[in-house]
């Protein structure tokens, strides 16, 4: 490690600040098994900016039986607010893969958000409120990569498109 730091310092103007604790809105907490990355402060600030610091938490980011409506909906009157909060949620997905599907869905409507999309955005923020301490655990282990895929086969009532998701997991087989 010292050899790498010396080589970097000979090329770049830098200094070693010691053990990582916070970087670009990410907090690193060290445990007996490794490290836990979270964005607690960022998520708390996001809730404050969205005026949802005191909201009631929910257990899922989107309703479990959610389908996009084919009914006409009225446009959301503050589309820039929608875009700002949704864009901020995108950065939160760095340590929160549980938010990826919901945030991706919200991003698909950034060009012309409707009132129903804003209500879903508020639901995602309520989920964030209840899961502020979640993040990514990083452990040293033997790496075994496993992949999963899922498709809903044309269940979107508006455009009959399929939604496909995938997940790649590392499994710890030893330390």
pLDDT tens digit sequence for 79-123 = 999 999 999 999 999 999 899 989 999 999 999 999 999 999 999
Q: What pLDDT was estimated at residue 45?
A: 96
DSSP H helical ranges for 2-145: 2-11, 40-49, 79-92, 100-107, 115-130
**In angstroms, rounded to a whole number, what is the distance separating the alpha carbons of residues 132 and 141?**
26
Torsion of CA 54, 113, 103, 80, to 10 degrees: -70
123/108 same-domain check: yes
Is 1 part of a structural domain of the chain?
A: no
Q: Are residues 103 and 151 in the same domain?
A: no
Is the Cβ–Cβ distance between 14 and 110 less than 8 Å? no
Q: How far apart are CA 7 and CA 3, in angstroms?
A: 6
Say yes or no: 108 and 34 in one domain.
Answer: yes
Q: What is the pLDDT at residue 161?
A: 67
Indicate whether 165 and 87 sit together in one domain: no
- What are the residue ranges in the chain where pLDDT is below 50? 175
Helix, strand, coil % (nearest 5) of the chain?
35, 20, 45
Is the same domain home to 175 and 110? no
What residues have CB less than 8 Å from 87, skipping those under 6 apart?
110
Q: Are residues 148 and 104 part of one domain? A: no
Q: Is residue 14 part of a domain?
A: no
Within 10 angstroms of residue 94's Cβ, the number of other Cβ atoms is 16
User: Within this chain, do residues 70 and 131 fall inside the same structural domain, yes or no?
Assistant: yes
The reply to whether 174 and 105 lie within a common domain is no
Residues 107, 146 within the same domain:
no
71 located within any domain? yes
Check residue 175 and give its pLDDT: 46
| Pairwise CA distance, residues 18 & 115, whole Å | 47
pLDDT score of 15: 79
For residue 161, is it within any domain?
yes
Q: Answer yes or no: do 54 and 135 share one domain.
A: yes
Q: Does any domain span residue 164?
A: yes
- Is 169 inside any structural domain? yes
Could you give the number of structural domains in the chain?
Answer: 2
Whether residues 124 and 150 share a domain: the answer is: no
Domain that includes residue 126, residue range: 25-139
Asked if 109 and 159 sit in the same domain, the reply is no
């Amino acid at each position: 490690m010292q050899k790498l730091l010396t080589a970097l310092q000979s090329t770049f103007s830098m200094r070693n600040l010691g053990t990582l604790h916070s970087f670009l809105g990410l907090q690193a907490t060290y445990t007996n098994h490794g490290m836990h990355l979270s964005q607690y402060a960022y998520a708390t600030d996001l809730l404050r900016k969205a005026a949802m610091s005191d909201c009631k938490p929910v257990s899922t980011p989107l309703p479990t039986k959610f389908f996009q409506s084919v009914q006409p909906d009225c446009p959301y009157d503050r589309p820039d607010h929608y875009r700002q909060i949704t864009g901020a949620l995108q950065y939160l997905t760095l340590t929160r893969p549980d938010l990826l599907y919901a945030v991706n869905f919200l991003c698909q409507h950034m060009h012309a958000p409707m009132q129903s999309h804003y209500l879903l955005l508020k639901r995602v923020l309520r989920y964030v409120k209840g899961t502020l301490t979640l993040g990514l655990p990083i452990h040293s282990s033997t790496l075994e990569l496993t992949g999963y895929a899922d498709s809903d086969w044309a269940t979107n009532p508006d455009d009959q498109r399929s939604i496909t998701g995938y997940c790649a997991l590392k499994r710890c087989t030893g330390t």
